[in-house]
Amino acid sequence: MSSRVRIKIDYIMKIHRFYIGGKIDLKHDFWVHDRALLWQWGRVFRFVAGQEIVLFDGKGNDRLYKIGEISPKEAHLLLVTELEPKIPKAHVYLFWSLLSGDKNDLVIQKCTELGVTNFVPIFSARSAKTKFNIAKAEKIALETSERCGRSTIPHIRRPIDIQEVLSEYGDQVNLLVCHQSHSELTEVKKDSKLGIIVGPEDGFMDGEVTTLISGGAKVLELGELTLHAETAAIVAASKFL
């Protein structure tokens, strides 16, 4: 890689990225009238004409724009170039038992950075929580995607129980339950959809593991040491991304 290309990449990584969702169509040149974006650009970042920003729509479209004009009411953006999207290499679902404190936030943040595509919180016998704030989780995933350069936003759904994991995903996802055992994991195809299942802080009940394995899940070992649940989720996801 030439030094010129390397400098360009480093420069792009330092530019602020903004997720625009369905609020704005990414065109060649256009005017922005979205109040929330304009307030953020003007009041928080103090952008001025001539500065560059990256906009992405969460569908794999990333574009670099230069600010032509900006005021509290509108901004004119000029397309500089289309950027190569950064999309996860694998389709990985993370099923994790709800944890205590802010550990769920950590799992979502770090696994979004790694490239997990779907987050599915689950209720198990030893789950530390019975409530889950989806809006907060989606905000964490969105802001993390903006910061890390990811071009897609992971999907997060409502919590389900172990039986629902099997009934709703058993036929479409290769399920892997993190559990210490002496069995060997059958080789998993790289292009297949994977579902990593991580237990609570005190681990799954034996009956829950039996239910998952009987329902078609395979065992995924993460080593001889006992990991914190949030660490296990991150380590397991990193094996396939």
Q: pLDDT per residue over 178-195, tens digit each? A: 987 655 555 666 567 999
pLDDT of residue 130: 86
pLDDT of residue 25: 76
Relative to beta strand 62-70, strand 75-83 is: antiparallel
pLDDT of residue 4: 40
pLDDT of residue 184: 55
Whole-prediction pTM value? 0.87
CATH topology of domain 92-238: Alpha/beta knot (3.40.1280)
pLDDT of residue 223: 81
Q: Please state which CATH class domain 3-83 belongs to.
A: mainly beta
Q: List the chain domain ranges.
A: 3-83, 92-238
Relative to beta strand 52-56, strand 62-70 is: antiparallel
pLDDT of residue 28: 85
- Among candidate residues 79, 64, 65, the one with its CA nearest the CA of residue 28: 79
Q: What confidence tens digit (pLDDT) does each residue in 45-81 have?
A: 999 999 999 999 998 889 999 999 999 999 999 999 9
CA quadruple 5, 61, 145, 73: dihedral sign:
positive
| Residue appearing with tokens 């689950």 | 122
pLDDT string in tens for the chain (241-residue length):
444 444 344 545 578 999 988 777 778 889 999 999 999 999 999 999 999 999 999 988 899 999 999 999 999 999 999 999 999 989 999 999 999 999 999 999 999 999 999 999 999 999 998 899 999 999 999 999 999 999 999 999 999 999 999 999 999 999 999 987 655 555 666 567 999 999 999 999 999 999 999 999 999 888 888 899 999 999 999 999 8
pLDDT of residue 51: 94
